[in-house]
A and B are shown apart, each in its own frame.
Chain A
């Protein structure tokens, strides 16, 4: 069965520090992984997807099939990065993790 695990409910980092939001998945097929973000008082929106291998707002995520992980990283956190981040697995439908609330301390 498919499952997405985000082990950290809360994560706080200082502005300018590196940030890594962890995501592990369980799926027997070929996965499609995504990161969605929800800023305060805004809707959930797609941040990036693994197949496009792009960097959005300085964030990157690499799919590691050996470790079944898709961690989200940014080398220098900004205050505007404070938000709720959801990792999602595309397997017929989207399966979401429970989310990590990132707070960037000025």
Chain B
């Protein structure tokens, strides 16, 4: 089991471009979480998805950000018209179930730099 995979590991975008970050959960995991880590800050929850459903997007900025987890393929975090403030590390995590366990398995992260 290769664990949670994220790609790309590093992404550079100019202001106004779109950024697409991909996350493949661990085998057998159907719950995916996205977090953002700004410099000098902790990880902040963005969105929680199950296959084909957004369960909780309370941490997502209202504009320009969207996430999906299709029936087939990886989960995608999409940032439209990126701005410098979007520069951060974006982490994906997955879990087998939700229940009482918050044991989440994290990917290596994607470091987004907006120039």
Contact = CB atoms under 8 A, between A and B. Distances in A.
Interface of A: 4, 6, 32, 34, 43-46, 49, 51, 86, 88, 90, 92-99
Interface of B: 3-4, 33, 35, 40-45, 48, 56, 58-59, 91, 100, 102-108
Contacts of B44: 96
B5 to A, nearest CB: 11
Contact of B102 (A6, A49, A97, A99): A49
A86 B100 CA distance: 20
A97 B42 contact: yes
A93 B33 CA distance: 9
Contact of B108 (A43, A86, A95, A98): A43
Contacts of B56: 92-93
